Chain A
Amino acid sequence: MSTVELPAGGAAPIGLRRPRPVSSRFLRSELRLIFGRRRNIAGLAVLALVPIIIAVAVKVSAPRPGDGPDFFASITGNGLFVPLAALTVEITLFLPLAIAVIAGDSIAGEANLGTLRYLLTVPVNRTRLLAVKYAAITIFAVAATMLITVVGLVIGVALFHGGSMTLLSGNQIGFGGGLLRVLGATVYLAVQLAALGAIGLFLSSLTEQPIAAMAGLVVMTVVMYILDSIPQLGWLGPWLLTHRFTAFGDLLRSPVAWDTLRQGVICAASYALIFWLASWARFAGKDITS
């Protein structure tokens, strides 16, 4: 009989080359799947449409100071406020919904199709699968918020002034500084959405029905918004992920009010960690019978 190598010290088993220690191939395949799917492209198009609608609406209507969210009033002053207004509008439902669709699909979608069993027998280590799935969700969160910001910036600067920016606190800063703050706000929101995505990943590991996981995450988001709006439950607020979603406005003050932002990032990171670990605890030993 022939002989085989012992897989000593993590060496490849017989006849196979050494596994690549780190490779982005699976992640890239995952991203192609997400960004190549027509449903998701349509969703992104809707997200991108909002800043356009806002900018055009503000352009054609006479400015009414003090009306609507802070950012709306400032748009006519500087186009940089278009992406901020769009992000403020979309964080209430559209962005959480988009994350819910992607995160809900992540594990449950594969389980539902049956492709999960073939991925696991490739083999893909279960921890690696969760890591790649979560990385893809995070990248989607960044892509979705960045898309809104970029579209908002382009249309905003095209329809309104660029130039120096009057902050919410009344100070003036240059265009470059303003741009930086808008990008900062975008990244902050992406971090918040990535934390929401971790909850979605967890829900997705519980079921074989992607729709159930998606609906579950949307319901959880809405419930957090509702709890946060009940004055008698004020003590609960700081513990809710959604509580500091709109804190990115603090970046538009001078000096920047870092406190809430820092708390927001810590809160998001904690949610992400806890729910990723919960997904892992649930998924690592789960029977895959789909």
Chain B
Amino acid sequence: MTDGTTVTEPAREGGPVRVPEAELAVRTRGLTKRFKHQIAVNGIDLQVPVGSVFGFLGPNGSGKTTTIRMLLGLIQPTAGSHELLGRPVPEHALPLVGSLVEGPAFHPYLSGRANLARLDAADRYSDPATMRTRVDAALDRVGLLPAAGKRYRAYSLGMRQRLAIAAPLLMPRRLLILDEPTNGLDPQGTREVRHLIASLSDTGATVLVSSHLLSEVEQICTHVGVMNAGTLVTQGTVAEVRVGGTQRARVQTPDPAGAARVLTELGLTEVQQQDAAALGTVGDVAVEKVVPALVHAAIPVLGFTIERPSLEDLFVALTGEGFDVNG
């Protein structure tokens, strides 16, 4: 793995006008896309803070890719607007945005290297003198250098996906928009992508990554947004979103019945008794009041924990159990 390109900041003294960097790398206002028969994205206000790794979640057909296509200017929104990197005309930010949209797409009879060279040639901002080194560095970063000269049509699914991830790495980026980057990758590849996202994030880039792998998202993301049937049902830091979910208080005690009574009195719901524990859903009750109340009622407390739902539980709670896609 070689070091990737980093963004060179402009000279701090003198030079052109400078303004504070935008707080939000992506901001949409009422972004809406209606296809003939359905609303694929329905008035979402997405806010991706600068420097975050933002997990963009949602069941199949919930509108993630459609949103990403609108952000990149591939499709026109039916209503609403968006800003990228603080620029009201998002097209102006695109040279600083690397993207992966709905899987890899390359010329089958060109090699992986030639395909990247073609994308680089199309880029008015790239320097032809450094093209070869940048192409090879990008290929190296996704572990594809040994197969760089192979024709794309001879690539395996995972190799194709890796090439698609290499493409946005050709140039320094402030924002990466990656639609299901780990699709089709082996465990090593998945791990590498995770490291890659972390290292991109370390250089100060913002990463918007859509994924279905929740454990994955939980490991790398600082923020999440959850789509369901075209609407953004929740967004925020991972902790914030979790708090929005149902927290369960668990009291370990030799007197579960007594503890359950206290929890009910405090206003916790769905109170349950187990062998040596009582549980309740916290809801609006202030968590810090629970233990003093138990002590006050002379219930022996051996342990007290707040159980947060896993992202997966939360995801299912927000988007429903059903297996059917929203057609």
Contact = CB atoms under 8 A, between A and B. Distances in A.
Contacts, number: 132
A119 B118 CA distance: 9
B120 to A, nearest CB: 8
A2 B9 contact: yes
Interface string A15-58: 11101100101101100010001100000000000000000000
A236 interface: no
A14 B7 contact: yes
Interface in A1-16: 1-8, 11-16
Interface string B144-187: 00000000000000000000000100011010000000000000
B174 A14 contact: yes
B127 A28 contact: no
A123 B9 contact: no
B7 A37 contact: no
A13 B119 contact: no
Nearest to B104: A114
A16 B171 contact: yes
A120 interface: yes
Nearest to B17: A6
A61 interface: no
B174 A288 contact: no
Contacts of B18: 3-6
A23 B174 CA distance: 25
B174 A33 contact: no
Give the interface centre of B20, B105, B171, B174 by most chain A CB atoms within 10 Å.
B105
A113 B97 CA distance: 22
A122 interface: yes
B121 A124 contact: no
B15 interface: yes
A13 B21 CA distance: 12
B235 interface: no
Contacts of A8: 16-17
Interface stretch (B67-75, B275-283, B287-295): B67-75
B258 interface: no
Nearest to B103: A114
A17 B20 CA distance: 20
B16 A120 contact: no
B50 A1 contact: yes
Contact of A28 (B69, B121, B124, B172): B121
B204 interface: yes
Interface stretch (B87-95, B263-271, B299-307): B87-95
Given A26-B121, A38-B109, A113-B107, A7 B92 contact: yes
Contacts of B8: 15
Interface residues of B, number: 54
A26 B172 contact: no
A289 interface: yes
Interface in A229-286: 285
Contact of A19 (B69, B96, B108, B124): B124
B50 A115 contact: no
Interface string B117-149: 111011111011000000000000000000000
A8 B97 CA distance: 19
A118 B164 CA distance: 9
A265 B103 CA distance: 45
B196 interface: no
Nearest to B66: A289
Interface in A100-154: 113-115, 117-124
A116 to B, nearest CB: 8
A287 interface: yes
Contacts of B174: 14-15
A8 B92 CA distance: 11
B99 interface: yes
Nearest to B108: A113
A15 B75 contact: no
B96 A33 contact: no
A6 B16 contact: yes
Give the interface centre of A1, A8, A19, A122 by most chain B CB atoms within 10 Å.
A122
Nearest to A289: B75
B76 to A, nearest CB: 6
Given A2-B9, A25-B128, A289-B69, A122 B123 contact: yes
A12 B69 contact: no
B24 interface: no
Contacts of B108: 113
B125 A29 contact: no
A5 B74 contact: no
Contacts of A17: 125, 127
Contacts of B298: none
Contact of A119 (B16, B97, B122, B128): B122
Contacts of A118: 99, 101, 105, 119, 167
Given A7-B92, A37-B109, A124-B122, 5 more contacts: A1-B50, A5-B18, A17-B125, A114-B103, A117-B105
21 contacts: A3-B12, A3-B18, A6-B16, A6-B17, A6-B18, A12-B95, A14-B96, A15-B7, A15-B9, A15-B174, A29-B117, A29-B121, A33-B110, A114-B104, A114-B105, A117-B74, A119-B119, A121-B99, A122-B123, A123-B73, A289-B75
Interface of B: 7-10, 12, 15-21, 50, 69, 72-76, 85, 87, 91-97, 99, 101-110, 117-119, 121-125, 127-128, 167, 171-172, 174, 204
8 shortest interchain CB distances as A-B pairs: A114-B105, A19-B124, A29-B121, A123-B94, A287-B75, A15-B7, A288-B74, A3-B18
